[in-house]
Structure 1
Amino acid sequence: MADFLLKSSDKTSFLGNLLAGTVRGDLVFPFPEQEKDDEIIGSEITAKLEALLKDKVDRTQIDTTQSLPDGLFDELRAQGFMNLRDPVDYNGLGLSNFNTFRLIKKAAEYSTTVALAMAVQTSIGIGGYLKYIPKGYLRNFVLKHTRKRSISGNADAEAEGASHPKRFTTATLTEDGTAYLLNGKKVYISNASIADVLVVSARVYEQDREITRLFFVETSSSGFEVTSEHEFMGLKGFPSVEIQFNNVRVPKEQVLLEPPLEGLILSSHLALMLGRIYMQVAPSVAIGELCTKWMRDYLKRRSSIDLPLEKYEALQNIVALSLAEVFAMESVAEWSVLIEDRRNDLEPKLEQVVARNICANTCWRILDRTMSVMATEGYETAQSKKARGVSAVPLECCLRDARALRTQCGADFLLDCLFAQMIIFPIFYKKNNDLNVNPVSEGQDTILDNLSTRNQRHWHFLVEENVSLANICQNLVKKYPNPRYLYPKEEMMILTTQMVSELMTISLVLSKAASLEATLQPNPQDLADIYCTAARYRISELKNKLLAEEHPNYQGVFQDWLNMD
């Protein structure tokens, strides 16, 4: 996978260079901006979506009734909001990747549930696979449903384990060779209860071997059944269900044929990289922004003893750090999406992978701080606050929603572990013990000239720590020449990815701050300084853990616990 993402095109990867020990400041500065014409298009369509959401969607009511308003998806579909990126010629809105991000983020301001349903449709529904489907029957099938504005989803997770490499749903070729019969069960399938068509992963036997293929299945097919609705602690009303396939007949032309890569379905993984930006990053940024607004409103109307709350240093620091972390999430999200639209010479797939955990975990920190700032009023439900006539901020509802952003499409710790195993360390095994890094690029002086003195020091820290991490990875590869002895050390894998994520975020935060006018309020240089200062403390802790030579007996305690009666 690392070779494919880094060498399959003539594009350069900023994070790929960072992983190998080089900070390419020339690639990230100046920070990308949306084209003006595209921005105008996005603003007009976002305003239309917001008008619909203001009229139809109430987050608190959805949370209370645990259901979305009747007819909401019909209206979203009618106005094209379920077909954001689909071609205009086929009844989609034909939006750029960044305008798609903007619309989903706007939806998340009103309802995480609605935003997620839109995001699933546009990223891992049938439209998300168009770029991977060659001309022919299957492409025409997808475009037919696009023209009808069909709602779609992705049926991959199974009860045996969502991250299990084997698919237990089977597809058996019919005797006449014209179709496949699907049998099996899928769980946690988003949009399945409202979908017209699903992308379904299933195991087939081809040339005496097992392989996983993608089947494009209409939900009206005989033998397709929704067997149970999932209820979550948050995301009330979200159409996630368990489904059953009982000899569901799928024409063989509705199978996507592609060569496997390391046992993976390549198109699914590529679609999911950008898909996580829409499904988890956009809601994370939206919720983080809402939190800073709620804290501001709360602090301006509350006091303690003889001072307004806004006068206390501790609260000022909490809010400033939260504002800086929103700035960081915006930097990571904008880079990960705008590069898709603006730069044909750069490949942002690796950044998109780590952006999910960066933003989902940052959003969680902001929510936790907001809950502390607003104290019992923050913990109180919006319904209760509304009943007694005070500002009905749905903070606890957003807290429950946001927890899902760290688990859907892969638990946070698992994604960090897999990224190290599949991307980071294969780079070093490929180098054959020859690191030979140039820690900085020629573009460093330009970005330094546009940073404050404190942020210049953060940039130098970034360069030093990035080389240090590359050396740590190289030493681990030397110590464990066979990856099958290194990769089971999952704590090391997780810590390594977390350090990479921190370093990448610092890079993008400093680049964005250097590209913006210092006259903006709050000052981007100050926001970057606050974020980078906090990140340096986290990096120091991560590095100490990664270099520790002795560890407590976690495995022994676990086994004792597991064997208890």
Structure 2
Amino acid sequence: MFRIAKCCVQNESKLYNAALRRFISTTSVQCKTVQNADKSSPTQAENHSFVMHLFRGQIESRQVFPYPNVLTDEQRETLNMLVDPTRKFFEEVNDAGKNDQIEKVEEKSLAALWELGAFGLQVPQDYGGLGLTNTQYAKLTEIVGANDLGVAVMLGAHQSIGFKGILLVGSPEQKAKYFPRVTSGEFAAFCLTEPSSGSDASSIRCRAVQSPDGKHYILNGSKIWISNGGIAEIMTVFAQTPVTDAKTGKTVDKVTAFIVERSFGGVTNGAPEKKLGIKASNTAEVFFEDVKIPVENVLGGVGNGFKVAMNILNNGRFGMAAAMSGTMRGCIKKAVEFATQRKQFGHTIDSYGTTQEKFARMAMLQYVTESVAFMISANMDAGSKNYHLEAAISKCFASEAAWYVCDEAIQIMGGMGYMRETGLERVLRDIRIFRIFEGTNDILRLFVALTGIQYAGAHLKELQNAFKNPTANLGLIFGEASKRVVRKVGLASPPAMDHLVHKDLAPLSNVVAKKIDAFGQAVEMVLIKYGKSIVNEQFILNRLANAVIDIYTSTAALSRATASLNNGLPTANHEKLMTEAWILEASDRIDNNLKAIASGKSLDNFTKLTSIAKTVCEANGVAQLNPLNL
């Protein structure tokens, strides 16, 4: 049979080569700048990102199998010592409902949080912090997310992004100066978004110009929707600065990051914003008028601000997934307590299939979110630099899963769930922002798809270069052509995963492996068909992103369930069932998304949707009259 495939290679390779040449002749896949694009990623050979390799139809297993467990005994003991006080704080001190009503965190809660060290969880101990790892941080964030998302946002705005830049790229002098302050009573904030600059972070207008004596930068401009903006003393601020190229002598504007203190003068803020949710979190516009910033307060180098901003955001997203997994735990607990007590038609409502289906899906979403969040945090703790796509996926998936779970918890509880007394209406309002801030889910999906496509496209460019000297690269060309012919005649095998999982999960791993192979083929097809214009095909990109999200989440569940089975955990069979159910449905979603990007009917429907949207926008709203023609 292999001889049959081999005989077809020459003819088949001609067809493939022609298509490949068309692709290469029209494109050198260059993704437009998308929020959170990582311009400093390691070389392709060094990249261990599982998601990145999916775009080539490959399995890079090092960051997903076995399920990572990086805590030392000492770190686990430290975490255990922090878990109980954190839970006790929310049980005995903090009142989430009251924080929401008064639209700020009560002073007694703030004092207790400072006392607990909650504002310096990852600051090294030498500077007054707790020096926690990402995994330890994720666990505490999960507890906070289960209890009060207003507090979670305040804490996250302070340390996950507010002073995170100092932690990541700050100089020793900057760390020594600011860490003792942000751990002992001074709030921090992250100032990026502007009225004219939302998801397109590179288009900011806030401007800083160096003073004639070269000792200061003079900052002018404003930022909007800044969490902790009305209470922060120390801010990471991003502004355009003129930068002269040493080689060409040309001066252009580039974004630079600065550490700005309110005490510098010229820093003011507006009143707290009135918001749908997270009302306890202070959100305000911040104004900068002739603020004198010492040159030593440049963070990460002049002109490197965009890189610094993206590094901060990429580094902190796993924390949102951890918080959302905690939120879902809380919602499920409330719904279960109600459903197991509430009787209708002679039975408690948890005995009915409709309610059981809701609980099963809620439990699966929480399990998958938690699996992804702690996988990423462990990868980061193990020293990985290749987690940005996974972190973006975790934020998208977790925020949407939490919305679904909370909404279903309210539905299970009926009228009681709608009442303020239950607390779920507050949670629903609070959750909504997580699909928007720190990179909207829409932008992050494009980021995932375009970054992965760029990685896949580089491989096709390598083949194009090989065609320029076919004699010297015959092995590469023949190997690629053979692979495609073998695949076409049905002899190819998908990448293997069964050796990585527990034997009871091997059939599921084969399902996921087949989807990885199909996904890689779909990406290649899209690259050859659309070339560089793929950046404009958002209907296609979104479906690729959705497919890769399902593949990654399925793999994370497989890995965690395998670890539970191998370790004989009491919940191992429960986790196995959730993983089986999740992958069964995820597999169907992957098929549907991949079919949509190749189906003529679907592509035609995308065109229809575009036309409908244009008509609505041209009409400034709904285009048709109502049925009464009024």
TM over 0.5: yes
1-side partners of 2:582 and 2:608: how far apart? 34
How many residues are matched?
Answer: 543
- Where does the alignment leave 5 or more consecutive residues of structure 1 unmatched? 383-392
Asked whether the equivalents of residues 512 and 555 of structure 2 are also in contact (C-alpha less than 8 Å), the reply is yes
Asked whether the equivalents of residues 169 and 300 of structure 2 are also in contact (C-alpha less than 8 Å), the reply is no
Structure 2 residue 292 is the aligned partner of structure 1 residue 256: no
Look up the match of 1:16: 52
Structure 2 residue 510 is the aligned partner of structure 1 residue 460: yes
Look up the match of 1:428: 456
- Where does the alignment leave 5 or more consecutive residues of structure 2 unmatched? 1-36, 245-250, 464-479, 485-491, 621-630
Structure 2 residue 462 is the aligned partner of structure 1 residue 411: no
Look up the match of 1:490: 538
- Scaled by the length of structure 1, what TM-score is found? 0.90
Aligned amino acid, residue 458 of structure 2: K
Asked whether the equivalents of residues 92 and 146 of structure 1 are also in contact (C-alpha less than 8 Å), the reply is no
Deviation of the 1:561 alpha carbon: 2.5
Deviations 1:317-367 (A, max 9, x none): 2212211221111110110101222x3467333311211101111112212
Structure 2 residue 552 is the aligned partner of structure 1 residue 523: no
Deviations 1:438-474 (A, max 9, x none): 97667x34334x142xx43332121111111111111
Matched residue of 2:435: which SS? coil
Distance 1:73 1:203, change over 3 A: same
Q: State the superposition RMSD in angstroms.
A: 2.4
2-side partners of 1:516 and 1:44: how far apart? 24
Aligned amino acid, residue 157 of structure 2: V
Matched residue of 2:258: which SS? strand
1-side partners of 2:460 and 2:595: how far apart? 26
Asked whether the equivalents of residues 125 and 154 of structure 1 are also in contact (C-alpha less than 8 Å), the reply is yes
1:240 pairs with one of 271, 283, 298: 283
1-side partners of 2:233 and 2:384: how far apart? 37
Matched residue of 1:248: which SS? strand
Structure 2 residue 500 is the aligned partner of structure 1 residue 472: no
1-side partners of 2:493 and 2:238: how far apart? 42
1-side partners of 2:392 and 2:230: how far apart? 28
507-516 or 425-434, which moves further after superposition?
425-434
Matched residue of 1:229: which SS? coil
30-39 or 213-222, which moves further after superposition?
30-39
Look up the match of 1:546: 597
Aligned amino acid, residue 527 of structure 1: M
Look up the match of 1:267: 308
Matched residue of 1:157: which SS? coil
Structure 2 residue 138 is the aligned partner of structure 1 residue 138: no
Asked whether the equivalents of residues 217 and 254 of structure 1 are also in contact (C-alpha less than 8 Å), the reply is yes
Deviation of the 1:526 alpha carbon: 0.7
1-side partners of 2:42 and 2:520: how far apart? 17
Matched residue of 2:264: which SS? coil
Asked whether the equivalents of residues 439 and 463 of structure 1 are also in contact (C-alpha less than 8 Å), the reply is no
241-250 or 464-473, which moves further after superposition?
464-473
Distance 1:216 1:302, change over 3 A: same
Deviation of the 1:25 alpha carbon: 4.2
2-side partners of 1:55 and 1:328: how far apart? 30
Aligned amino acid, residue 398 of structure 1: V
2-side partners of 1:535 and 1:369: how far apart? 20
Asked whether the equivalents of residues 48 and 386 of structure 2 are also in contact (C-alpha less than 8 Å), the reply is yes
Matched residue of 2:557: which SS? helix
2-side partners of 1:381 and 1:316: how far apart? 25
Look up the match of 1:390: none
2-side partners of 1:508 and 1:177: how far apart? 51
Distance 1:115 1:14, change over 3 A: same
1:281 pairs with one of 296, 300, 321: 321
1-side partners of 2:516 and 2:38: how far apart? 19
Asked whether the equivalents of residues 150 and 195 of structure 1 are also in contact (C-alpha less than 8 Å), the reply is yes
Asked whether the equivalents of residues 227 and 282 of structure 2 are also in contact (C-alpha less than 8 Å), the reply is yes
Structure 2 residue 401 is the aligned partner of structure 1 residue 362: yes
Aligned amino acid, residue 178 of structure 2: V
- Scaled by the length of structure 2, what TM-score is found? 0.81
1-side partners of 2:241 and 2:62: how far apart? 47
Aligned amino acid, residue 458 of structure 1: L
1:319-334 alignment runs, 5 A limit:
319-334=359-374
Matched residue of 2:536: which SS? coil
Asked whether the equivalents of residues 184 and 244 of structure 1 are also in contact (C-alpha less than 8 Å), the reply is yes
2-side partners of 1:54 and 1:194: how far apart? 26
Aligned amino acid, residue 364 of structure 1: W
Structure 2 residue 122 is the aligned partner of structure 1 residue 79: no
Distance 1:8 1:106, change over 3 A: same
Look up the match of 2:556: 508
Aligned amino acid, residue 186 of structure 2: S
Higher CA-based Rg: 2
2-side partners of 1:11 and 1:288: how far apart? 32
Deviation of the 1:213 alpha carbon: 0.3
Deviations 1:136-174 (A, max 9, x none): x43443345346453211000001131222111110111
Matched residue of 2:291: which SS? strand
Deviation of the 1:501 alpha carbon: 0.9
Deviation of the 1:305 alpha carbon: 1.0
Structure 2 residue 145 is the aligned partner of structure 1 residue 108: yes
Matched residue of 2:290: which SS? strand
Aligned amino acid, residue 275 of structure 1: G
2:386 pairs with one of 333, 336, 347: 347
536-545 or 395-404, which moves further after superposition?
536-545
Distance 1:172 1:4, change over 3 A: closer
Aligned amino acid, residue 235 of structure 1: I
Asked whether the equivalents of residues 230 and 282 of structure 2 are also in contact (C-alpha less than 8 Å), the reply is yes
1-side partners of 2:180 and 2:348: how far apart? 60
Asked whether the equivalents of residues 266 and 289 of structure 2 are also in contact (C-alpha less than 8 Å), the reply is yes
187-196 or 81-90, which moves further after superposition?
187-196
2-side partners of 1:187 and 1:205: how far apart? 23
1:31 pairs with one of 56, 67, 70: 67
Look up the match of 2:587: 536
Asked whether the equivalents of residues 321 and 370 of structure 2 are also in contact (C-alpha less than 8 Å), the reply is no
Matched residue of 1:301: which SS? coil
Look up the match of 1:231: 274
Asked whether the equivalents of residues 58 and 495 of structure 2 are also in contact (C-alpha less than 8 Å), the reply is yes
